[in-house]
Amino acid sequence: MAKIPFDIVGFDLDGTLIDTSGDLAAAVNHAIATIDRPPFPVEAIRPFVGKGAKVMLERALDASGGYDDATLAQLLPVLLDYYQANLSAHSVPYPGLVAAMDALAAAGVKLAICTNKAERFTLPLMDQLGLTSRFASIVGGDTVGIAKPDPAPIHAMIARAGGGRTIFIGDTINDIAGARNAGIPSIAVSFGFLDGPVENLAADAVIDHFDALLPLLESWPQ
């Protein structure tokens, strides 16, 4: 195996490491059912995801008949409480991820997470999926008081993982812009929670499956 020229590979969580769309959809549908809105199929909710729970709920309410600020304020805690109680019923790693993580670890590369998902959801979810021990650091959206695309949480992720040359993988503009703002290269995944063409993210590279990650990293300029 060729040497990977990075000490740390950082990942976003939702839509990058884990397909959380099933559990997020269930939480949205639970919340909007309390005001007699019909449920969405998971495929319809997927484009609503990626910019936080509030935006996800706003998009769902807008698509199902509109909303006002009072309705949004009423339903957001309903959604979050339901989600916290049902984090991992349907959430699974993306295909090829576990094998890619095994190969990175075998090559001596540290793995890390920087997500805009709050710690109250992030840490239990990773525990429930049995993945926590694989990561040298896990930084949530509220860990350092500011979220991506600000570079501070990515810098914290790198520092907590021991420092070194880092590349970041994500599926939204917050991820790719966050990496750029932190001064590190980025890879976009085309299978995540995209709200437009993956090329619009202007990442340094794109992968369509985690099977492509190791060959890409091995070919990265030293």
For 103: left if phi > 0, alpha if psi spans -120 to 50, otherwise beta; the answer is alpha
> Active-site residue 12, yes or no?
yes
Q: Coil, strand, or helix at residue 114?
A: strand
Structure tokens at 122: 């992030």
H/E element holding 83?
helix 69-85
Q: Coil, strand, or helix at residue 8?
A: strand
- DSSP characters for 139-204? E-TTSSS--TTSSHHHHHHHHHTT---EEEEESSHHHHHHHHHHT--EEEETTS--SS-GGGG--S
Of these residues, 12, 14, 23, 171, which one is catalytic? 12
H/E element holding 55?
helix 53-63
Structure tokens at 197: 């063409």
Q: Which residues contact 174 (CB under 8 A, 6 or more apart)?
A: 50, 51, 116, 147, 148, 149
Catalytic residues: 12
